[in-house]
């Protein structure tokens, strides 16, 4: 199985446990690695047979902007389920970064893998 990836997809979302976080939007960064059979698309040079990076990134951005979560764990799980369902991806690794969340750290985050590779 091939891996299609999107690195450092920047989205703006309202996410956090604390009251002050719930009233503002914050930057999040997604790293997405998705299992997908690229052979048909490569053989035919047909985008309709490929996992469309642009469509995936638009959908993740739209989802993150319109849904509010307290935990980044919940956001990561929801995005993984969304991509697997809507784009017929059998396996995904989602790394979600929340920069600036800890004063002495560049970023914090979670990484999850779902499905079968």
Enzyme catalytic residues: 98
Contact between 15 and 68 (Cβ < 8 Å): yes
* 8 exposure class (CB count in 10 Å sphere: 0-12, 13-18, 19+): exposed
Output the six-digit token pair for 80: 């993984």
List, in sequence order, every residue forming a beta bridge with 93; answer none if it has no partner.
33, 113
Q: Give 96-113 as a DSSP string.
A: EEEETSSTT-SEEEEEEE
List, in sequence order, every residue forming a beta bridge with 76; answer none if it has no partner.
none
């Amino acid at each position: 199985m091939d891996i299609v990836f999107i690195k450092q997809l920047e989205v703006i979302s309202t996410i956090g446990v604390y009251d002050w976080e719930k009233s503002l939007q914050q930057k999040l960064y997604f790293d997405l690695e998705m299992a997908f059979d690229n052979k048909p698309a490569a053989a035919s040079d047909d985008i309709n047979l490929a996992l469309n990076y642009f469509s995936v990134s638009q959908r993740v951005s739209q989802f993150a902007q319109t849904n509010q979560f307290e935990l980044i764990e919940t956001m990561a799980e929801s995005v993984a389920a969304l991509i697997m369902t809507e784009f017929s991806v059998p396996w995904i690794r989602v790394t979600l970064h929340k920069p600036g969340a800890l004063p002495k750290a560049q970023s914090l985050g979670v990484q999850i893998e779902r499905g079968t590779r």
